[in-house]
Chain A
Amino acid sequence: MTRFLIRRLLRAVLTILIVVVAAFVALRTTSDPAMVILGPDAPPDALAAFRKAWGLDQPLVIQFASYAWQILHGEFGKSMLDGADVLQKVTARVGVTLEIMVPALILGVVFGVALGTLAALNRGRWLDRLMMFGAVAGFSVPGFVLGLVLVLIFAVNLHWLPSGGNDSWTSALLPVFTLAVGWAAILARFTRSAMIEVLDQPYIRTGSAKGLLWHEVVLRHALPNASIPVVTMVGFMVGGLLAGAVVTESVFSWPGLGQLIVTSVTSRDVSVVQCVLVLVATTMVVSNMLVDLLYTWLDPRMKEAQA
């Protein structure tokens, strides 16, 4: 178990390192931040001064070494655009992003698991077919399409809801709903198949043979066992939350981390982009690792497999 943990940890660190290096190199070699930020008409000495100030004139290896040194001390530097502290800038945006992500995830999980379970318990009947039709529709329609359609209907035509921004709580309704529909659809399908697999296992019949009523068998033996793969799926969703913010926030002009990524990439605000990438990579890697640990903890058979 310890060896497994150490191996996972090493792999996680390595993954983050690769992301950091790749982002670092790509951002500096594909175009010149000084040029983008100061504009194509900037005088050469201004460009040179800018490069010197941000250390862009140093060899890439030196730049990276000092950058890595900074990160290790929890320093993500200042924005090349306005000199603001990058970490503060980023964390403020993370909060805004989570304002829509957390409620959407909760709704998605609750509805997805409930509908998937209902479908599995009614396998092959009209309720099952109806729900699976809905689920397929829910995740075949890309989130941005659904989002745009909703904006057109409720904001542009009906004027019931704002079309973007985060000025009042009503602005959150459309993005939360759009995200929740996508997740609920995925989880409903996933829960249904996990549940159907479990319901076919002989130990479910043992539950009935013991004297449990059907709902007791479902609650004590089917749902807990089917939830194991579902929990891991939710873990991966959590890992992808921040990265997934880009599309949603663009559609709804939600001023969160996703928008920050877009603006800082276009403006080559290198230190901000790097900080966001590290953050996104870390949440993915950490949540994947937690998913693995959780899986081992929920399913005792996995412990042997890893030993």
Chain B
Amino acid sequence: MAPSMTEAGAAHPLLRFDDFHVRFPRGPAVRGIDLSLSKGEALGIVGESGSGKSVTWLAALGLLGPAAQITGSVRFDDQDLRTMPAGRLARLRGGRIALISQDPMSALNPVQRVGRQIAEVLRLHRGLSKTEARRETIRLFDQVGIPDARNRVDLFPHELSGGQNQRVMIAMALAGQPDLLVADEPTTALDVTIQAQILTLLDDLRRDLGMALVLISHDLAVVGELCDRISVFYAGRIVESAPMGRLLRAPAHPYTAGLIAAAPRLGRGRGTLTPIPGQVPDPWNMPKGCAFAPRCLHVRADCTHAQPDFAPVAGHRSHLSACVLSTPAQTLTPEQTDALT
């Protein structure tokens, strides 16, 4: 797909996937992702569990084992992460690109004090001495809102609550002064009230520090609050991508519409939540054509012939969808599409 069509204003993206695939021995988990992200942008990634959100980012960062076969490219700051020497990619992680994941409790080493685990990053990426690292760790704890930081740095993960451990993980991510923070379901394992606090913290930090944020969630309401733009994942592909307001107001893909109807805080005043019946197909059992067809209320005969193009929705250059209903612009050339916006 032509780059000019995929993303608006992405001339110098911070990160960019092109035709990115990840295949496990049992089947393909990511089936051709094109995505780009600019400096300082907040991008939301949504989709039900199993749609390939985590695998995409783990593969990009070289964190999947040798069983994962990766093709296509992912470039960060114009360097191809896939062909980069392993040592250089390793040092990019935790430095310019930070990742935090779902379960903060198990993501921290249970037998090391939390402060020490953050100091490790400071010494690795910023070359701080032991005492400097300790001082900086305490400052980071303050920054992410951990009270009594001076004493908490010496505690073990099991002595902190889930929410505080997630703050520790965020402090650890900030320690490398990243340009990009990938937060994979950062609040899924937490209580609802704590969830809101962590999201607010992430939002504030992103604005203060000017870093780009990729917020991954199965919950549209979570990403809707924080993100400029949202990409909807289904069965290893992006099925819709649009600025946040537009996506929530006028979803073009039936799957997105289903997610909105199912989202607790976005219920569009209908009062009842309607979960999408059925489930995400497994990698070894991908339907032909549109992968959503078996669950789609609007399915037509041509849906199962070929994979619908991921193309601009009529009149909106930055709104793309992969559905036969929403892409009357299929036959338009990029020039014609430009003219529409």
B250 within 8 A of A: no
B312 within 8 A of A: no
Segment 85-111 of B: residues with Cβ below 8 Å from A: 86-87, 90-95, 98-99, 101, 103, 106-111
- Report yes or no: B63 in contact with A300, Cβ–Cβ below 8 A: no
A254 to B111, CA, bound (A): 43
B61 within 8 A of A: yes
- Report yes or no: A211 in contact with B94, Cβ–Cβ below 8 A: yes
Among the stretches A136-144, A218-226, A259-267, the one at the interface with B is: A218-226
- Report yes or no: A209 in contact with B61, Cβ–Cβ below 8 A: yes
User: Can you name the residue of chain B whose Cβ is closest to the Cβ of A303?
Assistant: B156
- Report yes or no: A206 in contact with B61, Cβ–Cβ below 8 A: no
A301 within 8 A of B: yes
One digit per residue, 1 when the CB lies within 8 angstroms of any chain B CB and 0 when it does not, for chain A 183-216 equals 0000000000000000001110111111111100
- Given known pairs A202-B103, A211-B176, the reply for A224 and B98 (CB within 8 Å) is no
A–B pairs, 24, beta carbons within 8 Å: A202-B101, A202-B106, A203-B110, A206-B109, A209-B61, A209-B94, A209-B99, A210-B93, A211-B91, A211-B92, A211-B94, A211-B95, A211-B125, A211-B176, A212-B94, A212-B120, A212-B124, A225-B111, A228-B111, A299-B111, A300-B110, A300-B111, A301-B111, A301-B156
Segment 22-63 of B: residues with Cβ below 8 Å from A: 61, 63
- Report yes or no: B108 in contact with A208, Cβ–Cβ below 8 A: no
One digit per residue, 1 when the CB lies within 8 angstroms of any chain A CB and 0 when it does not, for chain B 204-222 equals 0000000000000000000
- Given known pairs A202-B101, A205-B63, A301-B110, the reply for A213 and B156 (CB within 8 Å) is no
User: Can you name the residue of chain B whose Cβ is closest to the Cβ of A298?
Assistant: B111
A41 within 8 A of B: no
B82 within 8 A of A: no
- CB of B84 to closest CB in A, whole Å: 13
- Report yes or no: A220 in contact with B120, Cβ–Cβ below 8 A: yes
B150 within 8 A of A: no
Residues of A within 8 A of B139 (CB): none
Residues of B within 8 A of A209 (CB): 61, 63, 93-94, 98-99, 101
- Report yes or no: B121 in contact with A211, Cβ–Cβ below 8 A: yes
- Given known pairs A203-B110, A301-B156, the reply for A213 and B121 (CB within 8 Å) is no
- Report yes or no: A213 in contact with B90, Cβ–Cβ below 8 A: yes
A110 to B169, CA, bound (A): 35
Residues of A within 8 A of B156 (CB): 300-301
- Report yes or no: A211 in contact with B90, Cβ–Cβ below 8 A: yes
Q: How many A-B pairs with Cβ below 8 Å?
A: 75
A304 to B111, CA, bound (A): 13
A183 to B94, CA, bound (A): 40
Chain B contact residues, CB within 8 Å of chain A: 61, 63, 86-87, 90-95, 98-99, 101, 103, 106-112, 120-121, 124-125, 156, 158, 169, 172, 176
Q: Give the size of the chain A interface in residues (CB under 8 angstroms).
A: 23
Residues of B within 8 A of A225 (CB): 109-111
Q: Which of A210, A214, A298, A301 contacts B121 (CB 8 A)?
A: A210
Residues of A within 8 A of B92 (CB): 211
A298 to B103, CA, bound (A): 23
- Report yes or no: B63 in contact with A208, Cβ–Cβ below 8 A: yes
- Report yes or no: B107 in contact with A206, Cβ–Cβ below 8 A: yes
- Report yes or no: B109 in contact with A213, Cβ–Cβ below 8 A: no
Q: Which of B86, B90, B158 contacts A301 (CB 8 A)?
A: B158
- Report yes or no: A210 in contact with B94, Cβ–Cβ below 8 A: yes
Apart from A206-B109, A210-B93, A211-B176, list 15 A-B contacts with CB within 8 A.
A202-B103, A202-B106, A205-B107, A206-B107, A208-B93, A209-B93, A209-B98, A209-B99, A210-B120, A210-B121, A211-B94, A214-B90, A221-B112, A225-B110, A299-B110
- Report yes or no: A203 in contact with B90, Cβ–Cβ below 8 A: no
Residues of A within 8 A of B109 (CB): 203, 206-207, 221, 225
- CB of B123 to closest CB in A, whole Å: 11
- CB of A13 to closest CB in B, whole Å: 31
User: Can you name the residue of chain B whose Cβ is closest to the Cβ of A209?
Assistant: B99
One digit per residue, 1 when the CB lies within 8 angstroms of any chain B CB and 0 when it does not, for chain A 281-307 equals 000000000000000001111001000
List the 7 closest A-B pairs by CB distance, nearest first.
Answer: A211-B94, A210-B94, A202-B106, A209-B99, A203-B109, A300-B156, A202-B107
Segment 224-243 of A: residues with Cβ below 8 Å from B: 224-225, 228
User: Can you name the residue of chain A whose Cβ is closest to the Cβ of B105?
Assistant: A202
- Report yes or no: A213 in contact with B94, Cβ–Cβ below 8 A: no
- CB of B73 to closest CB in A, whole Å: 21
